[in-house]
Amino acid sequence: MKPARFRYLRPASIGEAVDALAEQGPDAAVLAGGQSLVPLMNQRLRCPAALIDVNFVSELASRGDDDASLVIGALVRQRELESDRALGRAEPLFAEASLFVANRQVRSRGTLVGSLAFADPAAEYPAVLVALGATATARSPRGEREVSCASVATGAFSNSLAADELITSLRVPKASAGRGSAFTEIAERQGARALAGAAALVELDGEGSVTFCRVVLAGVADVPLQVGGLDHLQGEPIPTGEKIRELLTAWTRKIPVRDDRRVDPRYQRALALEVSVKALQCAGRRARRPTGCS
């Protein structure tokens, strides 16, 4: 199918993009990679009156870092997370999650920020950003504010941004020594929507005891879901897979899984448990030794 007509706006700067978004009102959509929005427009499931194409705003394509964080602009393509060595070294979780995201041609256009804002419950990158404690910088005519990535998605395909707010970049806290991370997922086919995915972070002290531990699920609930019941791991060495499974079983049974009618909720909870255990174990091994898990 062909999309409905729309007004096409191509700002050349962040200021122009923000002004255009404010002027066009709530029926406008921001076009970054377009790998989720354009398929919906082609099916006329989304018919925005105006499309604000930010692909020509070169200041949004920047990436860099300061002492504490990586800064990733709104036009940084998902494939850059895989191909950029500096970014890959600084945060290997992005490249690992990319193995499960659509395919190479889609990731060549798709952006990290777009994935966060689109708030698809099955998207991998939002779960990764929540696990990493990343924040988004949102710009509007009222100024700029920092939003925790954990509070961006408010439900399936809806976000907490105001209609005139544009996410310009992300700040991702840099990894400390002794940290391990892992992403794993179960889907029906390579690149298909996640039935359950998990991003895990583990930090260990010199003795090998857990000082920080977080697992965030994708594809299971309406929004990235932080796995509970992990407090018992604090100050302990990473236990065996069986112990982790025991620890998480009760919690995963209560997950408010999203009803997408494809899979039985009990099956999806079982998958959530499997990916959580696997990601946590793998992150734990990598925290001890960077190549400790493949």
Which residues here bind other proteins, judged by CB under 8 A? Answer: 1-12, 16, 34-35, 38-39, 42-43, 51, 53, 55, 79, 83, 99, 102-106, 108-109, 189-191
Phi and psi torsions of 72, nearest 5°: -120, 115
List the one residue out of 80, 163, 81, 86 whose CA is nearest residue 129. 81
Residue 11 or 121 having the CB closest to other proteins: 11
Place of tokens 């194409």: 53
Shortest CB 109 distance to other proteins, Å: 5
DSSP letters along 145-177, please?
EEEEGGGTEEETTEES--TT-EEEEEEEEPPPT
Residue 40 or 147 having the CB closest to other proteins: 40
Pairing between β-strand 50-53 and β-strand 28-31 as defined by DSSP bridges: parallel
Shortest CB 53 distance to other proteins, Å: 7
Residue 11 or 219 having the CB closest to other proteins: 11
Q: How far, in Å, CA of 110 to CA of 69, rounded?
A: 22
Shortest CB 246 distance to other proteins, Å: 32
Q: How many other CB atoms are there within 10 angstroms of residue 224's CB atom?
A: 28
Pairing between β-strand 194-204 and β-strand 210-218 as defined by DSSP bridges: antiparallel
In DSSP terms, 52 is beta-bridged to: 9, 30
List the one residue out of 213, 216, 25 whose CA is nearest residue 123. 216
Q: 152 and 160 in contact (C-beta within 8 Å)?
A: yes
Residue 44 or 232 having the CB closest to other proteins: 44
Shortest CB 38 distance to other proteins, Å: 4
Q: How far, in Å, CA of 149 to CA of 202, rounded?
A: 19
Shortest CB 104 distance to other proteins, Å: 5
Residue 4 or 250 having the CB closest to other proteins: 4
Residue 191 or 290 having the CB closest to other proteins: 191
Q: How far, in Å, CA of 74 to CA of 137, rounded?
A: 10
Q: How far, in Å, CA of 102 to CA of 118, rounded?
A: 15
Q: How far, in Å, CA of 11 to CA of 234, rounded?
A: 49
Shortest CB 266 distance to other proteins, Å: 29
Q: For 5, which DSSP code?
A: P
Shortest CB 11 distance to other proteins, Å: 6
Residue 87 or 172 having the CB closest to other proteins: 87
Shortest CB 28 distance to other proteins, Å: 12
